[in-house]
Each structure stands twice: as structure tokens, then as C-alpha cells.
Amino acid sequence: MSEQVLVDFRETDFDGLCQVSGRVAVLIAADDRPGAIVRRLDRKMRGAISRALANGAWAKLKVAEALDLKFPAGVPAEAVQLVKLPRKSTGIEARKAGSAIGRELGEAGVAVLAANHPRAADVAFGLTLGSYAFSQYHTDDKTKKGNATFHVDKPDAVRAAAAPMQAVAQGVCFTRDLVNEPANVLTTVGFSDRLAAMRDLGLEIEILDEEQLEKLGMRALLGVGQGSESPSQVVVMQWHGGAKGQAPFALVGKGVVFDTGGISIKPALGMEEMTMDMGGAGVVSGVMRALALRKARANVVGVVGLVENMPDGRAQRPGDVVRSMKGDTIEVINTDAEGRLVLADVLWYAQERFKPAGMINLATLTGAIIIGLGHENAGAFSNDDTLCKAFLKAAAAEGEGAWRMPLGPAYDELLKSRIADMKNSCGRPAGSITAAQFLKRFVKDETPWIHLDIAGVTLPPKATALAPKGATGWGVMALDRLIRDTMES
């Protein structure tokens, strides 16, 4: 797993800053005259800061962007990084600023001069996310990163504000690790081992094996995994932080640890990206970790279906008919439309067992959602306007793109099968919607529900504001906020 950068907070200490041999980052509130400590540092650096701030290059920078003064005179620091961040910035801007600091972080660490900036905790949050690196398989590991020390005027207050945010950041990084991990390491069992280790955080974790899944009747899920050497598993994670007896909120994740397509095998080009097909399960796991770390006052259950979709002599065939736990039969037209088969059983199980107050599932479900929304927004499909609005609001507040897509009976018609209750694939038109419509058949009318198709946002082709190229952990922040805003206040 990736190594985490340690972030701590201390009282602003000018002499300490002047001895830092690593990097120094200075938050410059562009709407204000630099504070007293910055002016003192500037004098020590023989006016280098004021010259930089008077330069056109600084004026051109956007909020949250930064400028590096390398090996400056007067101080031993490797570099002094000037970070543009007005005092009245948003949390999202402050996180981006922190990410800009985190990206540049080197072995010698960084001291961040935040003084009395009101967004210091958000900057720290962004720094943790921006310094993330998945580098354990680089034998000659050049990306080892030192720690971050924030110099602030009220360290206790900032530390208290930062603690729950750091918990969420740890959740995001846990998700990124799971998604970045190759499929020979993160097998179904490798995945559930990491979830079992979260018992130490106070989560109740159960791992259901194939025998138990068979007894429950989860033939739709089991059919997907039957060509793999890795056993299929369902992992249930419970966080009991709310009132006793209060119905939990349910999070459900698609955890296909590798998706070859099965007998309907995928083309070779780009198939290696299908290590991310457990991204939905990864987000659910990251949220559960964040909730436990910040001791959320809510009851939440996470249920993930872990399977591997492989071609094999025992693999499921196109044309096979399977019976789901709900009892409905499914004709498997295309073994590559496997995510909906996994989710059908896990969604049903979550409702039967927990009678949740609401349910959100996440899945890298369709390539079609990338055609529709690209890598900027996840697709949101819902049977409940109130829940959907609350989610979209939380996602917007966290800077995680999500866009609502339609459902409707006309799309449902397309799922009709000649020989079974439904088929799992019905061609290219509205591919993401028909997949959502399939899932809806396994959602009870009384359960407020959202399906998030995260195929485009889980592993985008380039770095984002808060993540290096690779897994983003999209959704952990939005779901954590949704739980905080709707269940804990």
C-alpha cells in the first residue's frame, strides 16, 4: 500500500521556519497585504518574495496555483513555494492549493506557513490527497515523501478542524490504493483481507463464502465468478455510530477484481485497465474507513460483491440462464455485462437483510457512460428526487462531478428476454440507462436509491486537481458529506 504523508500543526515559529532545509510553502492571501511573518521572511530572503509578488507571473496565477523560488538566498530551504490563496477562498480552492503543495513534496518534507489563514485545515486535506503516490512497485523508489508541518496561530483549533478531514483523506487514499493495485495482488481474497483488517477500527466485518452465497441463492453473482480460481465473496461492513435500532443507510459496490469480459472476451487493447473494475467496492470501502476513523454518528452498512470475470472451461456461457436471489431469472446474453449480475444479488441481499433507509450503489458499470459524460461526471440514476438532490448537492460541494440521467419504463421494455424474465444485455442504444434499468428491477419501490455509474471517473486518463494520474477515489468525499449532512445533523 502507499505510504502516507504525516501532517501536523504547530504554533507559527519564525525561527523554526528559517531553519527548514526542505521546502517552505507560504500561503499568500492575494486580497491582502502579506502578514507580518511573511514580511519578515521576505526581509530575510532579501526581498525575493516581494519581487516575485510584484512580477507579472504572479499576477497571472489563478487561485490555488503556486510559484517556486528555488534555492533562495537567506534561508537554507530547498525552495520557497508561494501559494495564491485569498482569505475568502472556498474549501475546494483551499484543497487545490494544498494539493499543489503536496505534488511538489520531496523527501525533506515541507513547512507550510499558514499563520491565521481560515482555510488551513482544508489546505492540509488537499496536501494529503495531492501528495498521494502509488509507488511501491517502483523498485528504485524516487517518490518517497517527507512530512508536512503547518505553522498556524491556533494549532489546537486547526488540528481539531483538520482531524475529521484527515479521516476522509485516509478513506480516499484507501480507495485509491485498492483501485491502483494490480489484479494478481488484489484478488477477491486479497481484497477481503484488507477489509477484514478494518475490524481494528471498530467496523463489524463479515465475509460470506461461496457456500453461504449458494445457500442465499445468489446464482447471478456466483455465475460471474465461476470461471475464476479466486473464490467469489460478499463482504458486509457495518458501522454502528448512530442511534440503536435506527435503520442504516446502505452502500453497495461492484467489486469485479478483474474483468476480462469472460467468454464474451474483451479486446486486448486497454484490457489492463479492468483492474479498476472493483472501483465501486473500493469507494464503499473507503467511505466505511472514513466513517470509522472519524467516528461518524450514523448507522451505515457497506456491502461489496467480490468476483473475478474470467474465461475458463467452467466459465459462464452466453445464453446461460441464472436465477437471482430475488427469484427472477436472467438470460446471460453477454458475459461482459457482468456488473449488473453481481449487483442484482448484492442489492437484493442488502435490502432483505438490513431494510435500509436508503441505498446507493457504485459501479464501473458501462463504457457507454464514458461516451455520454466523459471523465468529468459520474452518471446518477435514481428513483427518489429527494435523495438524488441531496447527493448531487453533496457532490457539488466536494467538487466531485455527477450528472443525473433518466430512467423510464420504455427503457425497461428493452430488457425482455425470450426465455427468461430478463436479459443482461440489449445492445448499444442507451447502454448506461438500460444497465441502470436492470438494477432497478432489484430495488424495492420503498427503498430510496441511487445508482452511480463511475466507469469514467474512477481511473481517468490524466491527473486531476487532487490526484496524480491513476485512481481518484471519486465519491468518497461526496458520500461522506451526504452522510454527515443528512444523518448526523
Provide the annotated active-site residues: 266, 340
Among 84, 134, 49, 74, residue whose Cα is nearest residue 463: 134
The site partner of 368 among ligand BES, Zn ion, Mn ion, none (C-beta below 5 to 8 Å per kind) is ligand BES
Residues 377, 475: Cα–Cα separation, whole Å: 11
CA distances to 1, 100, 105, 176 from 132, rounded to whole Å, are 11, 12, 10, 9
Say if CB 172 and CB 477 are below 8 A apart. yes
331 belongs to the binding site for ligand BES (CB under 6 A): no
Say if CB 45 and CB 72 are below 8 A apart. yes
- List CB contacts of 251: < 8 A, sequence separation 6 or more: 284, 287, 288, 300, 301, 302, 303, 359, 360, 361, 362, 479
339 belongs to the binding site for Zn ion (CB under 5 A): yes
Indicate the residue among 66 and 179 with the shorter CB distance to Zn ion. 179
232 belongs to the binding site for ligand BES (CB under 6 A): no
The site partner of 285 among Mn ion, Zn ion, ligand BES, none (C-beta below 5 to 8 Å per kind) is none
Beta bridge partners of residue 362, listed in sequence order: 253, 452
Nearest distance in Å: CB 162, Zn ion: 37
Nearest distance in Å: CB 4, Zn ion: 30
Strands (E), 193-290: 204-208, 233-240, 249-259
**In the 8-state DSSP scheme, what is residue 400?**
-
Strands (E), 78-203: 79-84, 110-115, 148-152
Indicate the residue among 336 and 398 with the shorter CB distance to Mn ion. 336
Count how many Cα atoms sit within 13 Å of the Cα of residue 431 in the half-sphere of its side chain. Answer: 15
Out of 78, 277, 398, 480, name the contact with ligand BES by CB under 6 A: 277
Indicate the residue among 34 and 255 with the shorter CB distance to ligand BES. 255
Contacts to Zn ion from residues 256-315, by CB under 5 A = 256, 259, 277
x/- mask, ligand BES, residues 117-156, rule CB under 6 A, reads: ----------------------------------------
Residues 107, 131: Cα–Cα separation, whole Å: 11
Indicate the residue among 81 and 316 with the shorter CB distance to ligand BES. 316
Out of 126, 242, 262, 339, name the contact with ligand BES by CB under 6 A: 339
Out of 334, 403, 463, 465, name the contact with ligand BES by CB under 6 A: 334
The site partner of 453 among Zn ion, ligand BES, Mn ion, none (C-beta below 5 to 8 Å per kind) is none
x/- mask, ligand BES, residues 411-430, rule CB under 6 A, reads: --------------x-----
For the purposes of burial, counting CB atoms within 10 Å of the CB of 417, is it exposed (0-12), middle (13-18) or buried (19 or more)?
A: middle
Say if CB 205 and CB 196 are below 8 A apart. yes
**In angstroms, what is the C-alpha Rg of the chain?**
24
Number of residues lying near Mn ion (CB under 5 A)? 3
x/- mask, Mn ion, residues 242-281, rule CB under 5 A, reads: -----------------x----------------------
Which residue number is nearest to ligand BES in terms of Cβ? 367
Q: Choose the binding region for ligand BES from 29-37, 214-222, 361-369, 390-398 (rule: CB under 6 A).
A: 361-369
The site partner of 425 among ligand BES, Zn ion, Mn ion, none (C-beta below 5 to 8 Å per kind) is ligand BES
The distance in angstroms from the start CA to the end CA of the chain is 34
Among 155, 143, 307, 169, residue whose Cα is nearest residue 225: 307
Number of residues lying near Zn ion (CB under 5 A)? 4
Contacts to Mn ion from residues 278-337, by CB under 5 A = 336
Phi-psi region of 146 (alpha: psi -120 to 50; beta: other; left: phi over 0): beta
* Residues contributing to the site for Zn ion (CB under 5 A): 256, 259, 277, 339
* Residues contributing to the site for ligand BES (CB under 6 A): 259, 277, 334, 336-339, 364-368, 425, 431, 455
* Residues contributing to the site for Mn ion (CB under 5 A): 259, 336, 338
